[in-house]
Amino acid sequence: MREILGERRTNGDGDGHGEERRQDDARRRAALRYATHWGWPVLPGAGAGPDGLCDCARTGCPVPGAHPDDPALLAATTDPAMVRWWWTTRPGAPVILATGGRAPCALSLPALAGARAVAACERLGVALGPVAATPTRWLLLVEPYGLPELGELLADQEHVPSSLRFHSSGGYVPLPPSRIGAGGVWWAREPGAPRGGDRPPWLPRVGEVLDILVDAGLTAPDQGSRLAY
């Protein structure tokens, strides 16, 4: 129905529907690029209303809009037909990346600490991959890592702030150009493709950035066990 109504409008974007259609198209194109060109498994997120409340049935959802709901996380796929259908039937849905396995993993910090971590990496000459940002949290994408590797790296740390979160197998993160309860999701650092063409962007290893993120996380208020994008 959205597309039929759109075709009947002749005066363009004055009522805001033109901008809404552009955003819907951008999400669909992004989801297809992640899945088909980069091999990143994605699925639609729950979404959130104008009031920022999650569209899922959970009262007080801690990550409004920014999590899988229906379908569940295990449905994440790189199949272009499925991805196209999802974002044709649910064009406003956030794009959720299922992390781990062959897909990127991520580390995330509160926005201020995340910005400080990115600045520190640039100052020290530490190469970064894509960095996604929300108004409340920044997410650094890294090569896939497993729990044994992460455990060894964390064992060398004197203190790991609870504000630093790890998104690996069984996890998920929202990707641009989604809109979640906290607001928009954008690239603080655009994905580069030094491998050429439509191949996946280069990603650093988790050990290459962990020390800097730990240090930056110590500057952020402790959020306890609650994660909010």
Q: HSE of 227 in the Cβ direction (CA atoms, 13 Å)? A: 17
The four Cα atoms 100, 61, 69, 23 give a dihedral, to 10 degrees, of -90
| Residue range(s) defining the domain that contains residue 84 | 2-217
Of all helices (H) and strands (E), which one includes residue 165? strand 165-167
- State the pLDDT at residue 221: 65
User: Is position 222 within any domain?
Assistant: no
Two tokens at 192? 């580069």
Distances (CA, A) of 152 to 107, 129, 157, 206: 16, 22, 9, 12
Has residue 78 been placed in a domain? Answer: yes
Each residue of 101-129: b (16+ CB within 10 Å) or e? eebbbbbbbbbebbbbbbebbeeeeeebb
**Considering all CA atoms of the chain, what is the largest pairwise distance in Å, rounded to the nearest integer?**
63
pLDDT value at residue 20: 86
Q: What is the pLDDT of residue 197?
A: 58
Whether 227 is covered by a domain: the verdict is no
Structural domains of the chain, count: 1
Say if 229 falls within a structural domain.
Answer: no
Q: Three-class SS of residue 51?
A: coil
**Which residues neighbour 59 within 8 Å (Cβ) at sequence distance 6 or greater?**
none
Residue 113, in any domain of the structure: yes
Question: Which residues does the chain have with pLDDT short of 50?
Answer: 1-12, 224-225
CB burial class (10 A; 0-12, 13-18, 19+) of residue 51?
exposed
CB 134 within 8 Å of CB 184: yes
